[in-house]
């Protein structure tokens, strides 16, 4: 019974950690998309799809790149090359 309780606590901690990670990715994805659209206008469907499938690390790189990109072409090129 004790081992089962420990496994349950461990499983809950893992589930909570995964939920937090998923939430962080969703927030970052939303922020990157908002930044890109604010700075450069609407994204193409291809770039929207890439944005939706990007990993946390990729999204972090895109966010930093979008802050300083001189044009939408430069920002979108970053999106294409980062994938």
Read off the pLDDT of residues 11-62 as tens digits, 9 standing for 90 and up: 888 888 888 889 999 999 999 999 999 999 999 998 898 899 889 988 988 8
* Across 75-79, average pLDDT: 64
pTM value > 0.75:
no
How far lies 50's CA from each of 15, 31, 44, 59, in Å?
26, 14, 10, 10
1 DSSP assignment: -
The per-type count for the chain, helices as H runs and strands as E runs, is 4, 0
């Amino acid at each position: 019974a004790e081992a089962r309780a420990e496994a349950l606590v461990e499983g809950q901690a893992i589930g909570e950690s995964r939920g937090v990670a998923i939430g962080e990715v969703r927030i970052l994805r939303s922020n990157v998309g908002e930044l890109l659209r604010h700075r450069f206008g609407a994204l193409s469907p291809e770039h929207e799809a890439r944005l939706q499938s990007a990993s946390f690390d990729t999204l972090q790189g895109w966010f930093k790149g979008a802050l300083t990109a001189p044009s939408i072409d430069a920002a979108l090129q970053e999106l294409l090359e980062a994938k």
